[in-house]
Amino acid sequence: MNIFETLESEVRSYCRGWPTTFDKATGSFLYDESGKEYLDFFAGAGSLNYGHNNPLLKRAVIDYMLADGVTHSLDMNTVAKRELLESFEDIVLKPRALDYKVMFPGPAGANAVEAALKLARKVTGRESIINFTNAFHGMTLGALSVTGNSMKRSGAGIPLVHATPMPYDNYFDGQTPDFLFFERLLADSGSGLNEPAAVIVETVQGEGGINAARVEWLRGLAELCQRHGILLIVDDVQMGCGRTGPFFSFEVAGIRPDIVCLSKSIGGYGLPLALTLLKPELDVWEPGEHNGTFRGVNPAFVAATEALKVYWRDDKLEKSTLAKGEQVGRELTGLVESYPDVPMRAKGRGLARGLQFGDARLAGKVCATAFELGLLMETSGPDGEVVKLMPPLTISDDELERGLSVLARSVKGALA
């Protein structure tokens, strides 16, 4: 037994599916300590949209460290933070005519969600939250209470309350009108639904199985929220920062959420960083009412600023992501069509793609085979029935094709 098995808690999981020890990583590749190369269609669960050890970001971070830039600053003002704020305003918010204030809620996506839920409750004076089936928002108690996965929920050890799940887009395969249940419960003063402070939604559910909500559903949701005075929180932790094409995943629907959660790739380099964006009129926080030690990770500020400047001053990355996404989509559709007898389904948007199997074991087999063949992909969905494809956005065409080819071989192998 190695030290991971003897010393680390049983809670560890990725290391079980990928039984090797990784050492180096560049661009779209990871290397284990034996030197074996793995093409990465996982990208740190969306934290490495710009690839591993992206040289431009690495240079910026190392230069900052060499110059003895402040590393850790809580919410003190620093030069690095100012540059991030300025870049975020100039490159992200202004061009999209988005008027948000920026909160640093802590280092991780769950902190962004916790802050969003707190704020929504504080602003509205209501306590109840609407979440969606198969949502994933994090493991801290507030975030977990709006997460769907029953195994993770049971880890709480206390009843998770104050949230009511509503059916996500297409939950009933189109046999009911959108928001039928939600609208009816809201309209009916005898429904027993506690009046919600907010709705929290992912535009594409990553952990939930790469379920991409239609833009008209997202628009309908935003409209419903506005009509009922419910705040709309978009959790863009995994799908933001260009994963689906545009910087924010909700841009495609033309909606303006009241609160937006960002993390994962916002730091660019895989360093922990999270932002909660809020409409100015919602900024009713008392100073220090929400705080935390790791809100000022300046190397992450530096990498984030550099990533914005390199990748978001023009629309090249967005267009390339959309194009590559289309390519992946076509490949997946092709696979589905190649095996007419096997229940499969191609899913997703941008470079968040999934191949869903009727039999969850097949999805697991595909990923295991791919790992053998040097391709990292994880499963998602409530039963692990979806092979999830999330390569770095910076992946080259050759790498992408190579990965898709391994995927095809893995599917073939799994179905053999």
Cα separation of 178 and 251, whole Å?
A: 20
Phi, psi (rounded to 5 degrees) for 176 = -125, 150
By the rule CB under 8 A, 180 interacts with its own copies: yes
Q: Hey, which residues between 153 and 172 contact its own copies (CB under 8 A)?
A: 153-165, 167, 171-172
Nearer CB in complex with its own copies: 9/341: 9
130-148: burial string, b at 16+ Cβ within 10 Å, e else: bbbebbbbbeeebbbbbbb
Nearer CB in complex with its own copies: 127/359: 127
Q: Hey, which residues between 185 and 224 contact its own copies (CB under 8 A)?
A: 185, 188-195, 197, 208-209
Member of 92, 102, 210, 395 binding its own copies (CB under 8 A): 102
Nearer CB in complex with its own copies: 29/250: 29
Nearer CB in complex with its own copies: 284/313: 284
Minimum CB distance to its own copies, residue 382 (Å): 3
Phi, psi (rounded to 5 degrees) for 229 = 65, 35
**Applying CB under 8 A, which part among 97-105, 222-230, 314-322, 325-333 lies near its own copies?**
97-105
By the rule CB under 8 A, 374 interacts with its own copies: no
Nearer CB in complex with its own copies: 289/397: 289
Looking only at the bridges linking them, the beta strands covering 386-389 and 378-380 are antiparallel
Minimum CB distance to its own copies, residue 319 (Å): 26
Vertex 399: Cα angle to 304 and 325 (nearest 5): 70
Cα separation of 51 and 49, whole Å?
A: 6
What element of type H or E holds 346? strand 344-349
Vertex 405: Cα angle to 401 and 411 (nearest 5): 145
Minimum CB distance to its own copies, residue 261 (Å): 12
Nearer CB in complex with its own copies: 85/323: 85
Q: Hey, which residues between 250 and 289 contact its own copies (CB under 8 A)?
A: 263-264, 269-272, 276, 278, 283-289
Member of 96, 98, 133, 315 binding its own copies (CB under 8 A): 133
Alpha-helical runs (H) found in 257-348: 298-311, 316-338
Q: In sequence order, what are the residues at sequence separation of 6 or more whose Cβ sits closer than 8 angstroms to the Cβ of residue 140?
A: 110, 111, 113, 114
Nearer CB in complex with its own copies: 108/335: 108
Name the DSSP class of 370.
H
Nearer CB in complex with its own copies: 325/381: 381
Q: Hey, which residues between 5 and 44 contact its own copies (CB under 8 A)?
A: 7-16, 18-26, 30, 33, 44
Looking only at the bridges linking them, the beta strands covering 128-132 and 196-201 are parallel
Residue whose tokens read 């097949």: 362
Minimum CB distance to its own copies, residue 8 (Å): 6
Q: How many CB atoms lie within 10 A of CB 23?
A: 12
Minimum CB distance to its own copies, residue 400 (Å): 21
**Applying CB under 8 A, which part among 109-117, 251-259, 314-322, 348-356 lies near its own copies?**
109-117
Residue whose tokens read 């809201």: 186
**How far lies 319's CA from each of 1, 18, 133, 311, in Å?**
47, 32, 31, 11
The full DSSP string for 338-386 is H-TTS-EEEEEETTEEEEEESSHHHHHHHHHHHHHTTEE-EEESTTS-E
Nearer CB in complex with its own copies: 13/341: 13
Member of 184, 227, 316, 319 binding its own copies (CB under 8 A): 184
Minimum CB distance to its own copies, residue 367 (Å): 14
Nearer CB in complex with its own copies: 135/335: 135
What element of type H or E holds 46? helix 43-46
By the rule CB under 8 A, 392 interacts with its own copies: no
**Applying CB under 8 A, which part among 152-160, 218-226, 320-328, 404-412 lies near its own copies?**
152-160
379-393: burial string, b at 16+ Cβ within 10 Å, e else: bbbbebbbbbbbbbb
Q: Hey, which residues between 54 and 83 contact its own copies (CB under 8 A)?
A: 58, 61-62, 65-79, 81-82
Minimum CB distance to its own copies, residue 397 (Å): 23
User: Virtual CA dihedral for 59, 61, 63, 67, nearest 10 degrees?
Assistant: 180
Minimum CB distance to its own copies, residue 336 (Å): 22
